[in-house]
Amino acid sequence: MGQLEELENFVRIVEAGGIGKVAEQSGIAKSAVSRRLSDLEARLGTKLINRTTRKSSLTEAGMRCYEHATRLLDATEELQSLITQEQVSVTGTLRISVPLSFGLKFFPDLISEFNQLYPKIKVELELADHFVDLVAQGFDLAVRIGELKDSSMRARKLFPVELKLVASPQYLKKHGEPKSPDDLMQHKLLKYTLATQNLNLTDQQGQAHSVRMQNAFVANNGDFLNQLAINGKGITISPNFICDQDLKDNKLVHVLKDFSVGSRNAYACYPATQYLPVRVRVFIDFLVAYFND
């Protein structure tokens, strides 16, 4: 194995948090990952990682090696990209995590277009609404909607997401359409698992209103809650990319249109590391351009 491959293996061990995790993410034996590290240490004539059965830690030489290796690997990929100037030359596996409803809505067409541009990049996509630790679980990037609280991540904004209170015409006919935030207390809420207990609205004058509604159902998927609302089971807060078509088809009604229940942004998030592979860069740039259109 060449020096660059050994350095890349070393960087992955540091960022993933151990030899075992790199082996799991790469689908190769732990002994192979360990041997590559040993070969690099032998080549450099110094120990880079102190390894025990329970944990590992960087030596002083390891910390210096990691700092320089990330810059070297980054520069190498940039150089290769500049020399070839051909999109098909970008290769490798891209591991992406996206929210389930968001992925089902956008990613079949999005990935198809990306594959036309970069046919040598293999995409592994996980559709899940739970939080994913990108580094520990070996993902290159994730699409996240909402506030970003993890300072170890970097992000590129993709587009704003408007939230809407919606219910079916049948539900409103049976239970009455709320005319003010206080009226919502008499209605059933189909609640997203991670949402706060109180429903917060803002009127056109900027005044805040907080309402505690009855929870009729709690689930961790927006499409599911949207369908329950269509079935007449209550009122839910739905992002526009899920509910807009149902509003156009009169399957749902936008409740309390003069009040805002807030908005979020969709972001492409990736680890704040100096070494960002070209395949990740081109995909992030592709995402930004795709949603700008």
* Residue 88 confidence (pLDDT) above 50: no
- pLDDT value for 4: 81
89-158+265-292 with 161-263: one CATH topology? yes
Q: Under a CB-based contact definition with an 8 Å cutoff, are residues 215 and 189 in contact? A: yes
* pLDDT (tens digit per residue) in 207-236: 888 888 888 888 888 899 999 999 999 999
Query: Is pLDDT larger for residue 209 or for residue 251?
Result: 251
* Residue 141 confidence (pLDDT) above 60: yes
Among 77-81, 123-127, 170-174, 180-184, name the one with the lowest average pLDDT: 77-81
**In the predicted model, what is the mean pLDDT of the chain?**
86
What are the domain boundaries of the chain?
3-84, 89-158+265-292, 161-263
CATH topology of domain 89-158+265-292: D-Maltodextrin-Binding Protein; domain 2 (3.40.190)
Domain 3-84 has CATH 1.10.10.10: yes
* Residue 150 confidence (pLDDT) above 90: no
* Residue 117 confidence (pLDDT) above 70: yes
Backbone dihedral region for residue 234 (phi beyond 0: left; psi -120 to 50: alpha; all else: beta): left
- pLDDT value for 284: 92
Q: Is the pTM of this model over 0.85?
A: no
Query: Is pLDDT larger for residue 130 or for residue 168?
Result: 168
* pLDDT (tens digit per residue) in 6-46: 888 888 888 888 888 888 887 888 888 888 888 888 888 99
Tell the CATH superfamily of the 161-263 domain: Periplasmic binding protein-like II (3.40.190.10)
H-type alpha helices, 118-263:
134-137, 169-175, 222-230, 240-248
Read off the pLDDT of each residue in 167-194 and give the average, rounded to a whole number: 91
CA-based diameter of the chain, in Å?
A: 78
- Considering only CA atoms, give the Rg of the chain: 24
* pLDDT (tens digit per residue) in 59-80: 889 888 988 888 888 777 766 6
* Residue 152 confidence (pLDDT) above 80: no
* 87 burial via Cβ count (<10 Å: 0-12, 13-18, 19+): middle
With bands split at pLDDT 50, 70 and 90, how would you rate the model's confidence at 83? low
- pLDDT value for 223: 92
* Residue 99 confidence (pLDDT) above 60: yes
Q: How many residues does the chain have?
A: 293
